[in-house]
Structure 1
């Protein structure tokens, strides 16, 4: 699978986030592999139940719009990584998103986002 397919999976994650679409967000994440997530300012979340519970809370709350840019993809074997910048209410964040190949589809297994270093 190409980097374009990996970037498409990354775009699907941010589209689900921006639309506050829990069903689409659920589809982005792997059901077969172990998953983890670290939201900005949150502790480590491990396991599908815990990760999806936080997305339910985030997507149902008054979260401001999110956009992303500068996405760069790397693939090694059945694993892919996308690093990018996120923008929320004028705040710039840096994110890393890890995916595994499940058949012909890239599925997210890890998302981490945090503030850009000052300077």
Structure 2
């Protein structure tokens, strides 16, 4: 495969990962995670400890899906790096989510969140699969930082 073809395939796998979350398609999420029997997968959700192994990781997605009525990801700042059958995708997840409805409403209150994520993919005979996902909330405002004010690089 050419580099451009690999990048397009990785981007498609990354998009499929987020679309499966948005639609609550647990089977698709499960298919997208690496399952070679030898390489442990890892996942860090914002504020969670490191989860290791398919069972632990997939249980976390089942739990999130069961407790999230609505979620939508708007991905920005997407960058893909490729090397030897491994791809690293960094992006900003602009997340809009809502919990269970209250007082007969159709949907619970919506909440926006900004998260940076690193998704590591491995190339397999079945295509690109998620090996590791690490997401962290953006807590610092990086817009309009003055030279004399501490920013994220100073932390």
Bin the TM-score by the shorter chain: over 0.9
Matched residue, 1:23: 27
**Residues 16-55 of structure 1: matches in 2 within 5 Å?**
16-32=20-36, 33-55=39-61
2:85 matches 1:78? yes
Question: Secondary structure of 1:90's partner?
Answer: strand
Post-superposition offset of 1:104? 5.3
Post-superposition offset of 1:66? 2.8
RMSD: 1.3
Q: In the aligned structure 2, how far is the partner of 1:40 from the partner of 1:74?
A: 23
String of CA shifts for 1:22-51, please: whole Å, max 9, x gaps.
Answer: 001001101113100000000010001100
Quick check: 1:66–1:86 contact (8 Å CA) kept in 2?
no
Matched residue, 2:129: 107
Using structure 1 for the length normalisation, give the TM-score: 0.93
Q: In the aligned structure 1, how far is the partner of 2:27 from the partner of 2:55?
A: 14
Post-superposition offset of 1:63? 5.1
Tell me which of the two structures has the higher relative contact order, counting C-alpha pairs closer than 8 angstroms and 6 or more residues apart: 1
Matched residue, 2:138: 116
Name stretches of at least 5 consecutive residues in structure 2 with no aligned partner: 96-110, 142-155
Matched residue, 1:98: 120
Report the structure number with the largest CA radius of gyration: 2
- The alignment of Structure 1 onto Structure 2 pairs a total of residues equal to 119
Name stretches of at least 5 consecutive residues in structure 1 with no aligned partner: none
Question: Secondary structure of 2:90's partner?
Answer: strand
Quick check: 1:6–1:106 contact (8 Å CA) kept in 2?
yes
Post-superposition offset of 1:60? 1.3
Using structure 2 for the length normalisation, give the TM-score: 0.72
Structure 1 runs (4+) deviating above 6 angstroms are none
